[in-house]
Structure 1
Amino acid sequence: MLKKKTAVLFVEPDGTSTTRMQVPTFIISHWKKLLLSLICLIAATIVTVVYVVKQRTSAQYIQVYDKKINELKQQNRLLELEEFNSQLTTEEMKKSFNSIDSTLERINQKMRKRGLKEIKMKNMGGPVEKGEDDLVELSSFYKKQLKSLEAKLDGMPLGVPHPGRITSRFGYRRNPFTNRGREMHSGVDLKGRIGDPVKATAKGRVTFAGYKGDYGYVVMVKHNNGYETRYAHLTRTRVRKGQTVDAGEIVGLLGSTGRSTGPHLHYEVVINDRKVNPEKYFYF
């Protein structure tokens, strides 16, 4: 296709000089198409280069803009916080401390239900003469501490489920039926009268309420943080499986069902499927 040549003569305007050149006949015959193809190729190359550069530049700009926007959002949050603190009036601070007082009272109500001493927070309020900022920080600190304490107390089995005298402690004891040998006693026995109320020692969900072998009538309650409490030898239960109970709520009535020598409450505390001494949780 390119072997066939055609002579092309280049003549100066004054006719004094001429130049002859051999050019493939194919180029002479199709020079318009070839020129158009070359123009299209150059244009496509330019468009591709422009697109790539634009994409890279856009990505860089987006990254920079995102960073700037995040910085501005952060500054805006700080400004909002500063504005809130600057606008916090004495009356609002009083409301904040009243909120602390109400939370503390709510905790103490739960403590009283369990027969435990109230929590008293001394010297609350701090050095007022140092300014409002200290009061704001102090208020926030106490709120967080009390919320955390309340959440822990809700799920921890504190106090006694019945005020009766301890007749058998946790650990090994002589067999009460044969009066011979030793057996492991996995709870605490509290003496009482048939029909005495038995109260939950923490907030939780009832996983069993009914008759269960040596336990007799028993209520089992699951609490937060891996705790479980069991109230056995009841004359009857007052809750049902799946029910949510609060600390101090009556779960059953004391009795002598199951493996029992007389009216009493057998009380167990289990943590992560391991039975522990309930007396460790009687006092706070």
Structure 2
Amino acid sequence: MLKKKTSVLIVAPDGTSTKSIQIPSFLLTHWKKILVSAASIIAIIIFSIAYFVRHQTSEQYTEAYGKKINELRQQNKQLEIEEMNSQMTADEMKKSIHAIDSTLERINKKMKKRGMQEIALKNVGGPIEKEDNLIELSAFYDKQLKTLEKKLDGVPLGVPHPGNITSPFGYRRNPFTNTGIEMHSGIDLKGNTGDPIKATAKGRVEFAGYQGDYGYVVKVKHSNGYETRYAHLIRTSVKEGQQVEAGDIVGHMGSTGRSTGTHLHYEILLNDRKINPINYFML
């Protein structure tokens, strides 16, 4: 196909020089088709290169944008987590403070029932120090207050009756003969017949009834080795085995047993040893 050639004479514009070249006859005969084919091939090559470059560039951009989007998503997720943690921290703080307030309120109510003043901070002050973990701190105080509340429940604090002391704890003159010395193992509180007598701590009634010199008496066992006794009652208001709370009425004032007049004989025992109740009248 390419062996058959045709001579082509090339003449200069001024007609002075000529040049002859041999060109395959196939090219002269089908030059249009060849030109179209070549143009098509070139166009395909250009399109392929452009497509490849564009595809590669698109993948790079897609990858770059994808990484950026993932980074933004991670940052957004972190912000959401931090916001959630912050909200949880605030909620936990509120709950912790509320728990502390509730515990203090319960303790103060119990103090009032025992005839004592509330727990309050007076005549105090100073700069506020920064605390890094307020939740942990408040949880610590809440735990300490609950421990204190539990201990206070079983300690005979306060007074069983608001009357004046007519006979303190310790040695005294015999009130019946007005001679000699005897040991007074409790405190006598003045009052009126029938006045309510209140338990000074949470506990279990060990005895309620008439018992010799005590007259009508109520004995209550408390935790931590404490026991309280309320004697010379006109009548008891509880039964043996009954659970009582601080401030509950256990009986009413009278003058039964070894007594010279209406009053309450109040005793506190610690590990079966009688101690001075006056030390437990104030917190």
Same fold (TM over 0.5): yes
In the other structure, the counterpart of 2:264 is: 265
SS at match of 1:265: strand
SS in 1 for 2:235: strand
Structure 1 residue 88, shift from structure 2 partner: 3.1
Query: Within 5 Å, which residues of 2 pair with 1:90-239?
Result: 90-120=90-120, 130-131=131-132, 134-239=133-238
Q: 1:94 to 1:171 in 2, by over 3 A?
A: same
Query: Structure 1 pair 121/140, CA: closer, same or farther in 2 (3 Å)?
Result: farther
Give the unaligned 5+ runs of structure 2.
1-83
Structure 2 CA distance, aligned partners of 1:156 and 1:252? 20
Kindly provide the CA deviation profile for residues 42-61 of structure 1, in whole angstroms up to 9, marking residues without a partner as x: xxxxxxxxxxxxxxxxxxxx
Structure 2: how far apart are the matches of 1:265 and 1:120? Answer: 30
Distance 2:264 2:142 in 1: 38
- When residues 129 and 271 of structure 1 are mapped into structure 2, their CA distance, relative to the original with a 3 A threshold, is closer
Structure 1 residue 127 displacement after superposition: 5.6
For 1:218 and 1:89, the matched residues in 2 are separated by 53
Which runs of structure 1 show a deviation greater than 2 angstroms over 4 or more consecutive aligned residues? 84-89, 120-124, 126-131
User: In the alignment, which residue of structure 2 is the partner of 1:274?
Assistant: 273
Matched AA of 2:165: I
With structure 1 as the length reference, what TM-score do the two structures score?
0.66
Deviations for 1:195-229, whole angstroms, at most 9, x for unmatched residues? 00000000000000000000000000000100000
In structure 1, distance between residues paired with 2:176 and 2:256: 15
Letter in 2 for 1:98: H
Task: Supply the distance in 2 between the matched residues of 1:240 and 1:200 (Cα, whole angstroms).
Answer: 13
State the shift of 1:130 in Å.
4.9
Structure exhibiting the larger radius of gyration computed from Cα positions: 2
Show the counterpart of 1:11. none
**What amino acid maps onto 1:171 in structure 2?**
G
1:91-141 deviation per Cα after TM superposition (whole angstroms, max 9, x unaligned): 2211121111111100100011111111125899x968655xx21121111
Structure 2 residue identity aligned to 1:207: E
Q: Secondary structure at the match of 1:89?
A: helix
- For 2:269 and 2:250, how far apart are their aligned partners in 1? 17
* Unmatched segments (≥5 aa) in structure 1: 1-83
User: Partner amino acid for 1:198?
Assistant: I
Letter in 2 for 1:100: I
Matched positions, count: 198
Identity of aligned residues (%): 71
Q: Which amino acid aligns with 1:146?
A: L
For 1:128 and 1:87, the matched residues in 2 are separated by: 23
C-alpha spacing 1:129/1:88, structure 2 compared with 1 (3 Å): farther
- Whether contact under 8 Å (2:154, 2:223) holds in the other structure is yes
SS in 2 for 1:239: coil
CA gap of 1:128–1:258, structure 2 versus 1, over 3 A, is same
1:79 is matched with none
Per-residue deviation, residues 13-46 of structure 1 (Å, max 9, x unmatched):
xxxxxxxxxxxxxxxxxxxxxxxxxxxxxxxxxx
Cα distance in 2 between the residues matched to 1:253 and 1:274: 25
Q: 1:140 to 1:256 in 2, by over 3 A?
A: same
Match of 1:249 in 2: 248
